[in-house]
Amino acid sequence: MRSVDQGSSQETPVANDAHGQESSGGGAAGSEPPWHALRVEEALRRAETDAGRGLSTQEAALRLARLGPNALPEGVRKSIATVFLHQFKSPLIYLLIAAAGIALALGKVSDSAVILVVVLINALIGTLQEGRAERSLDALRRLASPKAHVLRDGQEQQIDARELVRGDLLLLAAGDAVAADARLVEGAGLQLSEAALTGESAPVAKEPSPLGPETVLADRKNMLYAGTYVTAGRARAVVVATGPGSEIGRIAALAEAAEEPKTPLERRIEQFGRYIMGAALVLLITVVTIGTLRGVPFGQIAMVGISQVVGMVPEGLPVAITIALAVGVQRMAKRRSVVRRLAAVETLGSTTVICSDKTGTLTRNEMTVTTVHLPGGREFSVSGVGYAPEGDFLEKGGQVRPLAEEDLRGLLEAAVLCNDAQLVGPEAQEPRWKPMGDPTEVALVTLGKKAGLALEEVRSHFPRQAEIPFDAATKMMATQHAGPESTWVVLKGAPEVLLELCGGSRQGGVVIPMDERGRQEAHAAAESMAHRALRVLAIAIVPGASIDDRADPSAFRGKAIWLGLVGQMDPPRPEVADAVARCRAAGIRPVIVTGDHKVTGLAVARALGIAREGDIAVDGRELEQLSDEALAERIDRISVFARVHPAQKLRIVRAYQRRHEVVAMTGDGVNDAPALAQADVGIAMGVTGTEVAKEASKMVIADDNFSTIVAAVEEGRVVYRNLKKVILYLFSTSMAEVAVLLAALVMGYPPPLAAVQILWINLVTEGVVTINLILDPAEGDEMRRRPIPTDEPLLTRTLLSRMAFMTPAIAISTLGWFIYRLSTGAPFAQVQTETFTVLAVCQWFNVLNCRSEGRSVFRMNLLKNPWLIGGLVLGNLLQAMVVFLPFMNEIFHTVPFSLKEVVAIGVVASFVLWVEELRKLLVRRRERGESLRAPPARTHGAEERAHA
């Protein structure tokens, strides 16, 4: 989207950013001061708007038409042609195209066409799947169409957020999202959650006074930023920057600049392709040289060489990889994960570190009171989590009736009076309780409802007469209420501040003086609760007092009566602890990267099992002081990174990547986007995630649940394991074809297989079971295995050792049958057809071998993969067509043979099955022997250190 200066054509020139918009951060150096340094009147004048009427509808339309919508650039969408051409970027594809070109030059049009068909099928599948992933993401975008309340023509109107322009007057109330950067004009008790921008979970109080020009973004109390939302109070603000000119736009540009690393699978395919190309070239030269020395005509021997090259290259591998990833995408979609890039599926299986946000991802994002402390040392634990008012008050393990406890009831009433939040009951359309207001205050309302308080009755019985909104400087809120005899004031705030105002405390319904010992006991209780990662509030009342115009709480010093402490926390999701345990068992290390305090983050990490003995938390300031070398030394012991800003999140991801870790980064905020783009797998939240985060990610979790990420990792591992099965299957056959053809040439025999027959086997015979092998279900131990090393080649030592049995067995069966039948004097066309069929039947036995590394074919339930059964049946039918249908005989140079040969071929081809069964038996015996000799199992921590 192209943007220009946000304003009317008559306004004073202002500084523009790279997008052509004036940044909300300020004007040009030395000319216009930044917005936060202006007085309200100056800001309105500069934005050319009327504080009482806002913009006119006509002027707003002119600005919108000239400047474009209030939206971030979606990035350049790849055309279908670009996506299609991208599918050809593979060394294996290059080699197949070269082979097709050589075949065409030699006049083998049908052979060349078959090879090109394989290449085109692979490209089409990849193109269709990537398009499907983008459509799924578009559907997520349409789940929410943001609106904005503005003042236009002197009337309040609701418009699409995309229609906002600079100069619009935003009207905001609790629960509203801020749709553009704006300068605060007026506000009452205004607090905003800026977690999406700064990562800080605590609401920030706002007021319209001008600030110094050098004030940093986090301290601009008179600015409201797009991507944040109002938690309490109301406000009127003038829009000063939209789209790319907003702070979100700047971070989006940072995300676009982040380098996107290649996935492990892409690196493996590149490496493997280079090896295959080199081996194919050597093989071609070898075949042509031997043939020339034997006096074979060049055209004939060149075609034999191409047959060898085609036999070496598993044509079905690119298609198999694409389909395997596509199947993984579809399985993940059923588990509420939208994958934007196919290769990210396999990368998930290689993940070794998950850098996860805390709020909303590991926790419920629902503040919950868990502890209430009364003067005199009485402490109650409160059950139930979230905003559903269901739970009990427990004291020393026994349940109490809170409204029967006079001191407890008094505290609860004060907590809901000094409070602006509401809790709306469940309805037919919305079965959940709906919070309205600051999460901290909603938690207090929920606490009151759990106790049985009638919220509206209490508030109407003690109506509010005046208030002092929460101020970050005083760390306190105060409300004045009318009582039966006189007014009184309720105080709510930080314990270290409020307790200094208290001259007494209520115990047993009686007010007793608070001496220094009592004050120390209260502070000790607050510290004890804070060390348990609770956010602690103190509550007090001032009988007979009123709030004067100075709004100065210090006037209550010595007059306040302490009622108690309330401790609350954002509880972990109940399923996350199990998900973390599964990560640990799978060799994956979860790490918390949060904008919250490190004490809170570390407590959550310990509760969930993320932090183990000896692990530490590091905040942004400490991280800034660490050199890259020092960070590398300590990073294994860091379980929580707290209070970090966007550039530090990028540094954390890169620090892990320099250690060759495969990093999955989860996040939902704008500040997460650069790290999401840099991570090997960026995972954005679908419900709470910003558009910037989703655009920067490779995968979107539709339900914002950490356990869904673990399920996606498991699917990634299933995909990779099935890919290894396919690779083993394809290469054991390909190498057998090469061995048969090369051995026949060296021994002076004619080619046992025609080039078109090799292509049929590689495309059709293999293809009908290869795709179905990909659909094999999970074996159940995927999350008990170590992550796949990033430098692991496609052909591992394990696969090569298995091929050492399979390939010779297939080659011996095929070449042995060929030599035997020639010795009987059978016609060459029939011998070649039978040999072709032996090789095909070997494939069907071998696909059963490849389903498991150690389990016997006869102990595996083939019915668990009905697709494989269907593939085997289809393969038999197609092979029968090639052998027995006249028009297929002409294309594939085949002739029919009798039923007697069919039975004999089946027996000979089964040799590969018995060889592999013998190998598996030896493996199982060796593993049993090793388990008997193994020392006692190590602790889980020792296993993790061994992995490290």
Tell me the H-state helices in 16-56: 40-47
Give the closest residue to 590 by CA, choosing from 522, 659, 639, 652.
639
Pairing of strands 204-205, 181-193: antiparallel
Q: At what angle do helices 343-350 and 706-746 cross, to 10 degrees?
A: 100
Q: List % helix, strand, coil for the chain (3-state, nearest 5).
A: 50, 15, 30
Phi and psi at 385, nearest 5°, equal -130, 155
Q: Is 373:393 a contact under the CB 8 Å cutoff?
A: no
Q: How far apart are CA 343 and CA 789, in angstroms?
A: 16
Give bridge partners of residue 512 from the DSSP assignment.
505
Residue 481, SS3 per DSSP? strand
Angle formed at CA 417 by CA 414 and CA 423, multiple of 5 degrees: 115
Phi and psi angles of residue 725, each rounded to the nearest 5 degrees, phi first: -60, -45
Residue of 477, 516, 505 whose CA lies nearest to 564: 505
Closest among 489, 480, 519 to 375, alpha carbons compared: 519
- Spatial contact of 336 and 138, defined as CB atoms under 8 Å apart: no
Q: State the burial class of residue 612 (Cβ atoms within 10 Å of its Cβ: 0-12, 13-18, 19+).
A: middle
- Residue 354's DSSP bridge partners are 590, 664
Alpha-carbon Rg for the chain in angstroms = 35
Report whether 536 contacts 523 (CB < 8 A): no
Q: Can you point out the beta strands (E) in 494-534?
A: 502-507, 510-513
Q: How many angstroms separate the CA atoms of 746 and 713, rounded?
A: 48
What phi and psi values does residue 576 have, to the nearest 5 degrees?
A: -70, -40
Residue 157's nearest CA partner among 6, 7, 49, 54 is 54
Residues 6+ apart with CB under 8 A from 685: 360, 361, 666, 667, 668, 693, 700, 701, 704
Both tokens of residue 595? 């904008």
DSSP alpha helices (H): ranges in 570-705?
576-585, 598-608, 620-625, 628-634, 646-658, 673-678, 691-696
> What does the H/E/C string look like for 574-612?
CCHHHHHHHHHHCCCEEEEEECCCHHHHHHHHHHHCCCC
- Cα separation, 291 vs 295, in Å, equals 6
How many other C-beta atoms are found inside a 10 Å radius of the C-beta of residue 283? 18
Active site residue: 5, 168, 181, 357, which one? 357
Check: CB of residue 525 under 8 Å from CB of residue 537: no
Whether 357 is a known active-site residue: answer yes
Pairing relationship of beta strands 229-241 and 223-224 according to DSSP bridges = unpaired
Pairing of strands 681-685, 638-642: unpaired
Q: Cα separation of 668 and 283, whole Å? A: 52
Helical ranges in 747-856 per DSSP H? 755-760, 767-774, 797-823, 828-849
Among 522, 553, 517, smallest CA distance to 537 is for 522
* 130 SS3 class: helix
Neighbouring C-beta atoms of residue 934, cutoff 10 Å = 8
Six-digit token pair at 932? 């008997």
Helix (H, G, I), strand (E, B) or coil at 368: strand
Residues designated catalytic:
357
